[in-house]
Structure 1
Amino acid sequence: MKPESTIKIFRDEHHFAAAHFLIDMGKCERLHGHNYFLTVELGGQPDPNGAIVDFNVINPMIAELCRTFDHKMLIAKEDDRHAITIGADEIEITFKSKRFVFPKEDCVLVPVQATTVERLSGYFCETLAGHVAPSHPNVEWIEVGVREGSAQMATYRISIK
């Protein structure tokens, strides 16, 4: 087995604040928000320059993902327990006895079943892998951690090769 190198990226600017709700999860079913922090780890064989990935390439990718989600309402697009109605300027969500209406520009429809840190870490990992894999053939795997506040984090890891 060849020796493998890993890099871990955890920059202060790789964070976002967002609101969400989680159906059938007690008090988390109420509209609430968090400060989220991303950690990205990549592993593989260093290239001839001794690097797995250029930090100047990966850091802007992570920062852009965070900007897309910052100060937004996160809506789980794949959750069939709620109804989503998309209007010209607003998004309406209904489930059980609840009805939320948000300005469309303030929302992100995330292609996940729930906006838990587990699902968000998977979404971010798959998204970054799609950008990294074509231009960095020596990256063998990527892992993304999404921290909710300061005390808990979920991670998602995929093999690229």
Structure 2
Amino acid sequence: MAEKLNFTQKRIAELPIPESGRLEYYDSGCPKLTCRVSSTGVKSFVLLKWTGRTAQRVTLGRFPDLTVDDARWMARDALGEFAQGVNPTEEKRKQRHRNITLQELLDKYLADKTDLREASVLDYTKKIKQGFPDWLDKPISEITRDKVLAQRTKLTGGRDNKLRVLRLLKNTAEI
């Protein structure tokens, strides 16, 4: 079982570094706040929240960049978000994708999917550039359902396949 102690700057600085893996220490001053100490010497403040069957981890920051008081404040703030039904980690991920353009999303998708055949890569690129050339520099969050429906009527030849690739990319961004 992980050790429970009252976090202070001095105590966190003095926490031993494990030879392998990582250790977790729980804060007695703020429930669900932990300090993870890895074998590389990194000490991170993490909020550990159980939601039903799974544990949700929200990394708040690294020690000493983040003080104990700041970590406690951030943990309480994140717990408030959880209470409202918002997962802070999911929100951060969604925020990163809100400003990404269609071209950047396509490039990222193709780079991440290393198991795609070369023909598929060329086909996806061709379909997006043929079907949505004006949207390549637009943020993906601005591509709404209404815009897609309006564009759908303008598409010819392989319309459904072009829309399928667009839907694939939009689902990847999960906005």
TM-score range, shorter chain: under 0.3
Larger RCO: Structure 1 or Structure 2 (Cα < 8 Å, ≥ 6 residues apart)? 1
Q: More helix per residue: 1 or 2?
A: 2
Task: Answer with 1 or 2: which has the greater Rg.
Answer: 2
